[in-house]
Amino acid sequence: VSQLSCLWFGTNERTRATSVAILAANFGCTIGFIITPYIVSTPENIPYLLYLHVGLSFIACILTFLYFPSIPPTPPSPAAELIIYQPIQSRERTSVAMRIRNFIQCLSYPPFLLLSLAGGLLNGTFGAWTSLFATILTPMNYTESEAGWFGFVTSLSGIIGGLSISVIADKPRFQRRLKLLIIISLCLCLLSCLMFQTFVVTIFYDKPLLKSNVFVISLTLGLTGLFQGCSSPLIYECLAEIMFPLPESLSASVLTQYINIVALVLLFIAPGRFKLMNLIVLAMISVTIIMTLFVKVTYKRKDEDERKKREKERLIIEQDCLGINNYYETI
């Protein structure tokens, strides 16, 4: 995802491109919260959902075969030039030995390790937690269909949050303040999640502290999803900046694997333990904030873009001066 945005989009567009790529997949999950309860009304209907998955995958495959260019006509940034115009280095990067060295380099670099683990814990836990809304909200007499709509609101809010924060992060004023934006988003996410916990049963109390209704549940979950969605694309972009000039695809892959591992582990723990999951999601958001505070973010990719931009401007000025001198010499 990060490498695609770097390859196809300029410096002031990367975060938005990364957000769209990440949140497009989330949009499918968002729609799934609504349609799944209607398609799988009984266990016997599960194959129908699988047929739908196969059909959508087939359509995506056909579209990819019809038009999917490997590189843009012209590089949008110096970082993209590094990917496009260095074929020898690219071939080296594809070797198994080089991939292993790059992977070890990522895991041995503390800022990357801290931020990638933080992103994996946050997104993996959040994914497992949202899948349990039907169980979490059953004691408050909400139906499975209503839980699906709550999941829809949460995921849709995350998409809106990711797209909104990406517009802000691409502004020149905020391009070097990704860490600050991540921490603000996570703190607001924690507060919103705490608000939600007061309306549901948790491990600390058997009855909700406050009486709930559809509006307040939708509002608190929507805010939680909004601010969690804000942090996701920023983490991807931060990791790409930290590990440059290593391939952006590597940092994104490591983060994705962390997310999958955390979600898989929690899905094994979660059945029948929804109260524990309510506590775990709060704990993980808090841990993520603490870990992010200790991350030293360096903007190596932006520094390289700016250096090459200045170099090009200097060459243009020198060529113009040379042209003027030649003109006067001919006179």
Q: Is the pLDDT of residue 188 over 90?
A: yes
Mean confidence (pLDDT) of the chain: 82
Assigned token pair, 139: 């004691």
Q: How confident is the model over 78-96, as pLDDT tens digits?
A: 667 666 666 544 544 556 7
Q: How confident is the model over 243-277, as pLDDT tens digits?
A: 887 777 788 888 888 988 998 888 887 667 778 88
Chain centroid, CA 51 distance in Å: 28
First to last CA, the chain: 56
> Which range, of 28-42, 58-72, 124-138, 205-219, averages the lowest pLDDT?
28-42
User: pTM of the prediction?
Assistant: 0.77
DSSP element (H, E) containing 108: none
Residue 203 CA: distances (Å) to CA of 14, 122, 169, 196 = 42, 20, 38, 14
Place of tokens 């895991």: 107
What lies within 8 Å, CB to CB, of 315 at 6+ separation is: none
What's the CA gap between 193 and 158, in Å, rounded?
A: 13
DSSP 11-26: TTTHHHHHHHHHHHHH
Q: Is the Cβ–Cβ distance between 6 and 77 less than 8 Å?
A: yes
Q: Which residue has the higher pLDDT, 304 or 110?
A: 110
- The pLDDT > 70 percentage for the chain reads 87
What lies within 8 Å, CB to CB, of 109 at 6+ separation is: 242, 243
What's the CA gap between 267 and 197, in Å, rounded?
A: 20
Listed in order, strand segments (DSSP E) in the chain are none
DSSP element (H, E) containing 218: helix 214-243
DSSP 33-66: HHHHHHHTSSGGGHHHHHHHHHHHHHHHHHHHHH
- Which CATH code for domain 2-298? 1.20.1250.20
